[in-house]
Amino acid sequence: MDAIRAVNLTKVYQGKAEVEALKCINLSIKSGQLYTLLGPNGAGKTTFLKIVSTQLLPTSGEAYLLGYDVVKQPEKVRRHIAVVPQDSIAYHNLTPWEYAYYFAKLYGVPSPKVKAHAELALKTVDIWHLKDRACGSLSGGEQKRAIIASALSSNASILMLDEPTSGLDAIARRHVWESLTKIVKDGKTIILTTHIMEEAEMVSDRLAIMNKGKLVAEGTREEIKSLSKEKFRVVLEGKIENNDLFKDGSRVARFGNKSILFFNSLNESLKVVERALAKGLKAEASPITLEDVFVDLIGSDLVGNQNH
Ligand SMILES: Nc1ncnc2c1ncn2[C@@H]1O[C@H](COP(=O)(O)OP(=O)(O)OP(=O)(O)O)[C@@H](O)[C@H]1O
Ligand SMILES: [Mg+2]
């Protein structure tokens, strides 16, 4: 059974100017996976999550959650989902413990298990030591973790998390990713959005890349990476005097005194590493990353990528 199925899903926001936020999206997300939606700001990720979690009506098309129509059977849909919105703010007077505890109760976790659910959720995101502080007195990242814990403590089979790790420090992010992968192993489905490509690449079973309301790519990380014509990247550090290190036409991205060069073949990239090292530059070759493909697919002018 598909956790989510979208058929020609379209959303046009009406206002001073019409915004076509989703343009005929067709997408199936299988149960039991960690599924990541990627895309630049304004791509339509939040709009998609809001529609499939019954917070927003589509303009046309259909969406089903575990086979239930999100427009015609919203009550059924809501019984199976827990949502962490992008802009979620914790109730200031509630403590993380109360959050996790009430969510478990609200979702019908059997009474003898409620405390255990709440405890596990709070420990999972590493805020057990803060469980009795008012959320209003916690830092932004700590509040976010309290909200994630509440979703974890529910017994919903599908979790939808819109940028769950934004604003979290590196250690907290690892805790969250680790817990999310654990939850998926236990049989739940997670659909999330993030802008942190490296982490998305590590944890996701499948990913979709959206841009301007359309699906640009969908598949496993390997399937998505295979869309790139280049297979290897070389990072050079130091001043490149001229382009004699690489052929004209190679794709190059520059960041300060670092440059990333992209190549089709391992041979080609190793040759460049050799030549760069001989010139006293620092050089490192590796396979391309999901972020490289993302930048390639979405368009690169915003990140200083230039063609030579
Ligand atoms: N309530 C609204 N009214 C009008 N337009 C909206 C509304 N909400 C979103 N939009 C527009 O719809 C498009 C998609 O927005 P959405 O929030 O789904 O993007 P996103 O992929 O989640 O972006 P981000 O990464 O910044 O969170 C954008 O162009 C946005 O400006
Ligand atoms: Mg968003």
CATH number at residue 83: 3.40.50.300
> What per-residue confidence (pLDDT) applies to 305?
42
Q: Which atom of ligand 1 lies at the shortest distance from residue 37's CA?
A: 21
Residues 135-169 have pLDDT tens digits of 999 998 889 889 999 999 998 999 999 999 988 88
Cβ contacts of 213-218, under 8 Å, gap ≥ 24 = 213/11, 213/20, 213/21, 213/22, 213/23, 213/25, 213/43, 213/44, 213/47, 214/23, 214/24, 214/25, 214/44, 215/25, 215/26, 215/27, 216/39, 216/297, 216/298, 217/293, 217/297, 218/27
> What per-residue confidence (pLDDT) applies to 172?
84
> What per-residue confidence (pLDDT) applies to 307?
42
Instruction: Say yes or no: CB of residue 255 within 6 Å of ligand 1.
Output: no
Out of 197, 225, 253, a domain closes at 225
Is the predicted pLDDT of residue 302 greater than 60, yes or no?
no
Instruction: Looking at the structure, tell me whether residues 197 and 238 fall in a common domain.
Output: no
For residue 160, give the DSSP letter: E
Locate 178 and state its tokens. 């680790």
Q: Which structural domain, as residue segments, surrounds residue 140?
A: 2-225
Is the predicted pLDDT of residue 7 greater than 50, yes or no?
yes
Instruction: Looking at the structure, tell me whether residues 157 and 302 fall in a common domain.
Output: no
> What per-residue confidence (pLDDT) applies to 304?
42
Cα of 189 vs centre of ligand 2, distance in Å, is 20
Question: Which mutation among 9, 36, 46 tests ligand 1's pocket best, with the greatest number of atoms within 8 A of CB?
Answer: 46
Share of the chain above pLDDT 70, in %: 94
Instruction: Say yes or no: CB of residue 104 within 6 Å of ligand 1.
Output: no
Residue 242 confidence class, pLDDT cut points 50, 70, 90: low
Cβ contacts of 20-26, under 8 Å, gap ≥ 24 = 20/213, 21/47, 21/213, 22/47, 22/48, 22/51, 22/58, 22/213, 23/212, 23/213, 23/214, 24/61, 24/214, 25/61, 25/210, 25/213, 25/214, 25/215, 26/215
Residues 15-60 have pLDDT tens digits of 999 999 999 999 999 999 999 999 999 999 999 999 999 999 999 9
- Once rounded to an integer, what is the mean pLDDT over residues 272-301? 89
Instruction: Looking at the structure, tell me whether residues 142 and 245 fall in a common domain.
Output: no
Instruction: Looking at the structure, tell me whether residues 160 and 188 fall in a common domain.
Output: yes
Residues 232-241 have pLDDT tens digits of 999 999 877 6
Out of 225, 243, 274, a domain closes at 225
Instruction: Looking at the structure, tell me whether residues 7 and 100 fall in a common domain.
Output: yes
Residues 79-133 have pLDDT tens digits of 999 999 998 888 899 999 999 999 999 988 999 999 999 999 999 888 999 999 9
Domain harbouring 239, CATH code: 3.30.70
Residues 243-286 have pLDDT tens digits of 667 665 568 888 888 889 999 999 989 998 998 899 889 999 99
Instruction: Looking at the structure, tell me whether residues 271 and 196 fall in a common domain.
Output: no
Instruction: Looking at the structure, tell me whether residues 165 and 240 fall in a common domain.
Output: no
Coil, helix or strand at residue 249: coil
Out of 204, 225, 246, a domain closes at 225
> What per-residue confidence (pLDDT) applies to 303?
44
Helix residue ranges, H only, the chain: 45-52, 74-78, 96-106, 111-124, 140-153, 170-185, 197-203, 221-225, 266-278, 290-298
Instruction: Looking at the structure, tell me whether residues 207 and 290 fall in a common domain.
Output: no
Longest Cα pair distance anywhere in the chain, in angstroms?
A: 70
**Which protein residues have their CB within 5 A of the ion that is ligand 2?**
45-46, 86
Instruction: Say yes or no: CB of residue 13 within 6 Å of ligand 1.
Output: yes
Instruction: Say yes or no: CB of residue 50 within 6 Å of ligand 1.
Output: no
> What per-residue confidence (pLDDT) applies to 301?
40
> What per-residue confidence (pLDDT) applies to 179?
84
Instruction: Looking at the structure, tell me whether residues 213 and 241 fall in a common domain.
Output: no
Better-scored residue on pLDDT, 64 or 248? 64
Instruction: Looking at the structure, tell me whether residues 126 and 244 fall in a common domain.
Output: no
Number of domains in the chain: 2
> What per-residue confidence (pLDDT) applies to 248?
57
Instruction: Looking at the structure, tell me whether residues 182 and 252 fall in a common domain.
Output: no
> What per-residue confidence (pLDDT) applies to 247?
67
Name the closest ligand to CA 298. Answer: 1
Instruction: Looking at the structure, tell me whether residues 211 and 277 fall in a common domain.
Output: no
